[in-house]
Amino acid sequence: MSASRREFLGYASIAGALASLPTSAFAGDKADPSLAASPPPGFVPFAAPGRIVKVTKKDSLQENKLYPKADDAKAMLTKALTELTGKSDLPTAIGQFVHKDDIVCVKVNGIAKQNMGTNKELVIPFLEAMILSGVKPENITVLEQYGGFLAGTRVSAQNVPNGVKIAIHQNKDAIMPDRLIPGTGTHTKFVRALTESTAAINFALIKDHSICGYTGALKNMTHGCSINPHDFHAHNASPQIALMYAQDVVKSRVRLCIKDAFKVMAHGGPLWKSPDHVKVHESIYASTDPVALDTVGWELVEELRKGYGLKSLTEEKRAPAYIRAAADLGLGIADRGKIKLLEHTV
């Protein structure tokens, strides 16, 4: 179910507020200098606004229905990124997003623990192929908020390639100055693994969120990489998620977003409460556009909610208005008619 015209018109007040904010609010000023990252000299990362590749493979989950089969996950990842970039193999495709001299932060998501976290079967082959593309293992850090969340992904120091680092920030590992997020009246800091990187890869999920309605690519980087995410949840976190992602710290670093959608949570999120509203989807999505990804993710959650006989997020007053706000800030495309969803099976 796509957001209705009435819903989008309801974002007009948010858009007006955003338009009144000075550019320095997102890029730093004399008191709060820019923390934007730049690609290595001569390297232009691949970008395709509004373009999403979805890859589906039937029976790609293990018999326990919890985790994907390793070979299937790698095949799906390869198909998604080669189709997105037009390159012939996974390392070459990944090399379109990161340079051998980049320092890379890989943000995973394990908030729903082992029942529904970013699967190691997707993350590990990405790390291996990124190293084959030329990035030094010691320049790669896999990041999550808490140890329990990381455990939910089953990514660990024991199974990542030698030299790759693991970081847990616990909402406190930050060294940048406090930054006022415009329009919120609240300050935050983004954590070291992000601010000390030159590039970020965003491994997100598609799920219901009791406060924000829906969360995916945008919130994984904002609330998952800052020291006080709880301070940015008022009003369904809209437009706070958009305002945080628009900060130079975040938007200048994220090169690629991959959504692990082997399962999709239509209700009861973000924590795992029961499997009652979790649907096997056996797909992954890849894009350089987090707004387009979240637009399509929200649409999928609404379709599943309808199938379960649940009210829409709009009816529950949890519509993720931050997605449109992010589009208004130039972070991507939210107009469904302008999003190209390319679907493949393997």
Query: Which band of pLDDT confidence, cut at 50, 70 and 90, is reported for residue 162?
Result: very high
> pLDDT class for 274, splitting at 50, 70, 90?
confident
**Predicted local distance difference test score (pLDDT) of residue 24:** 53
Question: What are the backbone dihedrals phi and psi of residue 294, each rounded to the nearest 5 degrees, phi first?
Answer: -75, -30
Round to whole Å and give the CA distance between 2 and 237: 20
The whole-number pLDDT of residue 14 equals 53
Is residue 242 pLDDT above 80, yes or no? yes
Q: Give the span between the Cα atoms of 144 and 136, in whole angstroms.
A: 20
* Domain layout of the chain by residue ranges: 5-10+72-171+179-345
- Cα separations in angstroms, 224 against 145, 253, 302, 324, 345: 6, 15, 24, 20, 31
Structural contact between residues 202 and 254, judged by C-beta atoms closer than 8 angstroms: yes
Q: Measured at the alpha carbon of residue 24, what is the angle toward residues 20 and 30, in degrees to the nearest 5?
A: 140
Task: Say if strands 51-56 and 278-287 run parallel, antiparallel, or are unpaired.
Answer: antiparallel
pTM: 0.93
Residues 269-275, mean pLDDT to the nearest whole number: 88
**Answer CATH for 5-10+72-171+179-345 from 3.40.50.11440, 3.40.50.1240, 3.30.565.10, 1.25.40.10:** 3.40.50.11440
Return the percentage of the chain with pLDDT > 70, whole number.
91
pLDDT band at 27 (very low <50, low <70, confident <90, very high): low
Q: Over 270-299, what HEC string results? A: CCCCCCCCEEEEEEEEEECCHHHHHHHHHH
**How do 199-204 and 51-56 pair as beta strands?**
unpaired
